[in-house]
Amino acid sequence: MVTVKQLPREEYWLPGHAACPGCPASLGLRMLGKALEGRFVLVVPAGCTTVIQGMYPKTPSRVPLLNIAFAASAAAATGLRAALELRGIDVPVVVWAGDGGTVDIGLQALSGAAERNEDILYICYDNEAYQNTGIQRSGATPPGAWTTTTPLGKRERRKVAPLIVAAHRVPYVATASIAYPLDFVEKVRKAVSKRGFKYIHLHAPCPTGWRFPPSETVEIGRLAVETGAWVLYEIEDGVLRLTGRSASLLDPARRKPLEEYLKRQGRFAHLFRPENEQLLELLKMDIQENWEAIRSALERGGRIL
């Protein structure tokens, strides 16, 4: 297990950028920089990180960064990887995309790169909506959540992107959370040690869109895991195992009540009105079925297919 003391003191993402206070994306970028000690190339599609990175030549990023159209990050990373190889340069190429740029708009390029087993690491920081354009719902927004395009609460369930990617039979898929930085760092390091397509889905609570105070980002992320609303796992060569805090939470009796997580966020406030009981049940079913899929994989020795 890596410790904080083993991480470099060096910062690879400098202060002075345009993220909102308490931004999970900037926290994640900071951890990513330390995990790879600044030796990587970043591919960023449209999203909050586009705003954070700023406009050339004024950027807080200390790593080379390619800003690309929403749909194209996995394709651009593929080309970049090939170009670096031709030049004999062996550094990880990392996509850093939000949930909109991953589970919706970027999904076909992501699927193509995964199917070709391109040697890239794709990280989705999942803040569960299109936050920087005004909090519109995405395919990763949980059922029941308020967004500006689901003012009464989202009626649909969410795409389980890590399992969709794992179904491409890639060498490594993991989930992580900005509230568990060392777990994330370890997964990043393990991912880049493997050849082929790697995917990490990073849970990223957004104070702006989820409506909680900016000082509570890490606490909300921790509650998501402790209540089972978010699950930490990794899938290596098609075999799933629970990791970190989630490893002891397969038994629902060991999890905190889901309400402890939901009641801290303005986006779920309406779920506790009697007329929205069904919406709350839909959210609970979504979470429970995610756990059931994990349990059934574990009963098959972790095999997901």
CB of 44 to ligand SF4, least distance (A): 13
Complex with ligand SF4: residue 153 or 205, whichever CB lies closer: 205
CB of 125 to ligand SF4, least distance (A): 8
Instruction: Using the rule CB under 6 A, give the single segment among 20-28, 141-149, 170-178, 239-247 that binds ligand SF4.
Output: 20-28
Quick check: 198 and 204 in contact, CB under 8 A? Answer: no
CB of 208 to ligand SF4, least distance (A): 4
Q: Which of 13, 17, 23, 184 binds ligand SF4 (CB under 6 A)?
A: 23
25 contacts ligand SF4 (rule: CB under 6 A): yes
Query: Which value, to the nearest 10 degrees, does the dihedral of the CA atoms of residues 169, 228, 176, 217 take?
Result: 150
CB of 81 to ligand SF4, least distance (A): 27
177 contacts ligand SF4 (rule: CB under 6 A): no
Euclidean distance between CA atoms 45 and 216, whole angstroms: 27
CB of 93 to ligand SF4, least distance (A): 23
Exposure pattern of 287-296 as b/e (b: 16+ CB <10 Å)?
Answer: beebbeebee
CA max distance for the chain: 62
CB of 33 to ligand SF4, least distance (A): 17
Instruction: Using the rule CB under 6 A, give the single segment among 22-30, 34-42, 80-88, 251-259 that binds ligand SF4.
Output: 22-30
Q: How far from 280 is each of 58, 154, 227, CA to CA, in Å?
A: 45, 11, 15
Q: Which of 53, 73, 78, 132 binds ligand SF4 (CB under 6 A)?
A: 132
Q: Which of 19, 63, 93, 110 binds ligand SF4 (CB under 6 A)?
A: 19
Total residues interacting with ligand SF4, rule: CB under 6 A:
13
Euclidean distance between CA atoms 213 and 269, whole angstroms: 15
Instruction: Using the rule CB under 6 A, give the single segment among 18-26, 59-67, 108-116, 181-189 that binds ligand SF4.
Output: 18-26
Write the single-letter amino acid at 34: K
Instruction: Using the rule CB under 6 A, give the single segment among 8-16, 21-29, 78-86, 182-190 that binds ligand SF4.
Output: 21-29
Q: Which of 17, 20, 287, 297 binds ligand SF4 (CB under 6 A)?
A: 20
Quick check: 109 and 75 in contact, CB under 8 A? Answer: yes
Phi, psi of 92 (to 5 degrees): -60, 140
Which residues make Cβ contacts (< 8 Å) with residue 293, sequence separation at least 6?
Answer: 160, 163
- Interface residues for ligand SF4 in 207-266 (CB under 6 A)? 207-209
Say what angle helices 107-115 and 73-86 make with each other, to 10 degrees. Answer: 40
- Interface residues for ligand SF4 in 191-210 (CB under 6 A)? 206-209
Complex with ligand SF4: residue 22 or 92, whichever CB lies closer: 22
Q: Which of 48, 258, 271, 279 binds ligand SF4 (CB under 6 A)?
A: 48
Residues that bind ligand SF4 (CB under 6 A): 19-20, 23-25, 48, 127, 131-132, 206-209
